[in-house]
Chains A and B, each alone.
Chain A
Amino acid sequence: MSHEDVAQTSMSTARRLIMTEDQEALRAAVRDLLSDHAPWASVLARTESDTPYDIGLWGRLGDLGVTSLLIPQEYGGSGGDARDLAVVCEQLGAFVAPVPFCGSAVLATAALVAVRSEPVAADLLGKLASGELTAALAIPATSVPGAVLSTTVLAEDGKLTGIVTPVLDLWGADLVIVLALDEGQAALYAVQADEFDFPLVQPITALDLTRQVASLELAANPARLIVRGEPALAAVATAVVTGAAMLAAEQVGVAQWSLDTTVAYLKERYQFGRPIGSFQALKHRMAHVWRRLGLARAAAIAAADALAAENDPDEIATVVAVAASYCSETAVFAAEEMIQLHGGIGMTWEHPAHLYLGRAKADELILGAPDQHRARLAELVSLPAP
């Protein structure tokens, strides 16, 4: 691909980068709900409780229709697209909301939507849309968009055996979508709690206190076949790319909260007889966070728009890689600046800053680390490593 080709690609694909009125309304509705039901004090308290996820809030998000945005209406979903989903993910990030949204409404749903012509997938989508089921996608959380997919799970006589770790949002899931090796080819299987013996879930104590990760240990667990062969791999690949793009939106939410919270603190904290936000050294640091956040937001919106409206898979992969790489690092940057500029208070358990730092850093490591996204991007735009 030449320089002209690269430039031409971007010309022929102008992304829509501003929100519609419907999306503004969606944003406000989700924000209101989270303000009422996920204040940071309760999010922090929940991290040390027996129910790390807020089932009530998950149900309310379902009532609002946002957990089924990716599911077409004919399957009972809200029939939105990735742009709408990104609006929700940003708000969930801004509240570090303790719900299995990424695992269920993004990853597992995206995989099932990709194979919705299969009757089993269609049936499961209906149950996800109605809120009857909450799902997880059994792939390692560190899966990278565009990388060759592999699995250690073997299918034999409709039973699955193997270990997948670390898996996002297994806690509370009653449906697990599993990529397995079935007579030499890839296959997607569904393991459902109400039908079968549910496989063993080994929780992992996570850096991110607000998102659960666990190991899935399958030992000849009965499972339902969804689809075999290339469509199975394509479905998981789609889910990973979708997940990376939605994570970018979430990271924008994390960065925005970190910026807003730190700016507010710099205005109210007095030392040397003046608000510390009047010191240029600190103002410049906040201005850099704001500047980078503007770029991150545009990149995240572009990635969601590409998923919703772009046909060329390489162009989708390119825009998602840009967003994932840039938003990951921006969220970590914003959260780390927040910790430093809060001084001692930012190091305490009682202040929510650490929830956001943990989320930002963990988000950076999952669904492709920034350097992995850039390595993938280098292939896509013909800038090969030496």
Chain B
Amino acid sequence: MVAMSQPTPGPVQPLVPAPRETGQNSMASADLSDRIADVVAQHGTGDRTSFLGARFDAGLAWVHFPEGYGGLGRPRTEQIAIEGGFARLGAPATAQAYNVIGYGMAAPTILEFGTDEQRQTLLRPIFTGEDIWCQLFSEPGAGSDLAAVATRAVRDGDDWIVSGQKVWTSFAHVAKWAILLARTNPDAPKHRGLTYFIADMAASGVEVRPLRQITGEAEFNEVFFTEVRIPDSARLGDEGNGWAVAQGTLMNERMAIGGGAVRESGMLGLLATLWRERPELRRPALHDRLMRLWVEAEAYRLASERQRQQLLAGRPGPDGSGSKVTYAALNQDSTALELELLGAEGLHHEDWSLRRPTESNWLAGGASHRYLRAKGNSIEGGTSEILLNVIAERVLGLPREPRSDGGVAQKDQPR
């Protein structure tokens, strides 16, 4: 199974990159347009938090959510028109960019598996950005094999006592809440002894340490739980059902609607601009490599757009695993070529100091930063190797590799 330990802003674009006049369903239907105009007229000039709160209350946060929970129970595809409608009226942006886990993972999971009280209290501040969320899934011993999670949760009256270590956690240093996968039954086979919790990051016993990475900075964290008390009311889904809930979370993350990007966006755009503006750097052997990347990036853009159109037409294609593998390879090849093109300038690295970015911007900084950061693209959010397994088994129907961990209690697994 795929470990989605970090957000994957790569191939999954924000729900709507930019308002567009072209394409299907880009215009909101009349009643939606009226609702959008109402919210903007009454709250559009206030601060972002109160405006987003009004959007939530009007059912225009996640339109496919039920009424009363930020939605109107309408098709998910209408979200595109809604975002376009707000953007056209100059309304403040959503909090998606700095609450990636909250929007993409926590909210849909709470909606699907949460109690009514959890939904009532947690969804709105996710959308407004008041509550930042992080995700505590991956561990040093549970990466691609996510079900090997060893963080223990032991029942104590109405509470659970949680101890263990999580790793590669974005936003942990700013998050108020976490979604947490922990082991409640080590005697069960590993997929069946997990339970899913909501953890208060300010609770006693939670320690967040920056995890310095190869760029010098620390986007991610290690999170240590030492006898952290979590009330049973913060459980999401049934005891022992954590794997199924986590699957729902990961599935939701991948359902975001991509496509709509322009030609030469992202890393390839930087590379093309460098080639155009610095003729003295051009070398013959690099030219066809550049053009190969241009072609593949354009084919990737078209394939993403095709997936979007299929989804809008109610005919979704197979999952996005292939897109992420392509995206990672394109980024890595483009950043490598950028360094080679720069030659002597490529020897320079802007800043090795330990910095703490709150938003992932892989294109920022210098070429060496991009080159190093892109190495993570084929690891975070499911390694390319695991994603190729997913394609081979789920899309192509090839048989699974024989496994040695089936039916064995988690505590008896070799580690």
A: residues with CB less than 8 A from B are 2-3, 6-12, 14-18, 263, 266-267, 274-275, 277-280, 283-284, 286-288, 290-291, 294-299, 301-302, 321-323, 325-326, 371, 374-375, 377-378, 381-386
Contact = CB atoms under 8 A, between A and B. Distances in A.
A386 B282 contact: yes
A6 B275 CA distance: 14
Contact of A14 (B20, B269, B402): B20
Nearest to B317: A294
B309 interface: yes
A254 to B, nearest CB: 17
B298 interface: yes
Given A383-B291, A385-B284, A16 B309 contact: yes
Contacts of B197: none
Identify which of A11, A275, A291, A302 gathers the most chain B CB atoms within 10 Å of its CB. A291
B295 A325 contact: yes
B110 to A, nearest CB: 33
Nearest to A293: B322
A10 B263 contact: yes
B37 interface: no
Nearest to B391: A287
B294 interface: yes
Interface string B385-400: 1011101110111111
A86 B20 CA distance: 28
A11 B20 contact: yes
A378 B287 contact: yes
Report the contact-size class of chain B (Cβ under 8 Å from the partner): 35 or more
B296 A374 contact: no
Please give me the 6 A-B residue pairs with the lowest Cβ-Cβ distance, nearest first.
A10-B263, A283-B392, A386-B282, A374-B291, A291-B322, A298-B303
Given A18-B315, A286-B392, A299-B298, A378 B291 contact: yes
Given A263-B398, A377-B291, A378-B287, A14 B22 contact: yes
A301 B388 contact: no
A2 B263 CA distance: 12
B336 interface: no
A274 B398 CA distance: 12
Contact of B398 (A2, A18, A266, A326): A266
A10 B259 CA distance: 12
A263 B262 CA distance: 34
B263 A7 contact: yes
A315 B229 CA distance: 61
Contact of A302 (B265, B294, B302, B401): B302
Nearest to B270: A3
Contacts of B399: 267, 274-275, 277-278
Given A290-B396, A298-B305, 10 more contacts: A7-B262, A10-B264, A11-B22, A16-B309, A17-B309, A280-B385, A287-B389, A295-B296, A374-B295, A378-B291
B306 interface: yes
Nearest to B291: A374
A280 B326 contact: no
22 contacts: A3-B276, A6-B263, A10-B264, A14-B305, A16-B309, A267-B397, A274-B399, A278-B398, A284-B385, A284-B392, A286-B396, A286-B398, A287-B388, A287-B391, A290-B322, A301-B306, A325-B295, A374-B292, A382-B276, A383-B276, A385-B282, A385-B287
A278 B301 CA distance: 31
Binding site of B, secondary structure by majority: helix, strand, loop or mixed?
helix
B290 A383 contact: yes
Contacts of B397: 263, 267
Contact of B391 (A290, A322, A325): A290
Contacts of B203: none
B313 interface: yes
A283 B393 contact: yes
B414 interface: no
Contact of B325 (A14, A278, A291): A291
Nearest to A3: B273
A32 B20 CA distance: 40
B299 interface: yes
B302 A279 contact: no
A323 B306 CA distance: 14
B264 A6 contact: yes
B288 interface: yes
Contacts of A11: 20, 22, 262-263
A277 B398 CA distance: 6
A298 B269 CA distance: 20
B59 to A, nearest CB: 29
A17 B306 contact: yes
A280 B279 CA distance: 44
Nearest to A377: B291
Nearest to B384: A284
A279 B292 CA distance: 30
Contacts of B33: none
A383 B299 contact: no
A278 B398 CA distance: 6
B362 interface: no
A383 B275 contact: yes
Identify which of B20, B264, B288, B300 gathers the most chain A CB atoms within 10 Å of its CB. B264
Contacts of B395: 287, 290
Contacts of A294: 303, 317, 322
Given A2-B276, A274-B399, A18 B263 contact: no
Contact of A10 (B276, B279, B301, B389): B301
Interface string B297-323: 011111101100110010101000010
A386 B402 contact: no
Contacts of A10: 262-264, 301
A6 B265 CA distance: 10
Contacts of A263: 396-398
Contacts of B244: none
A6 B272 contact: yes
A8 B263 CA distance: 8
A374 B291 CA distance: 6
Contacts of A385: 282, 284, 287
B388 to A, nearest CB: 4
A7 B400 contact: no
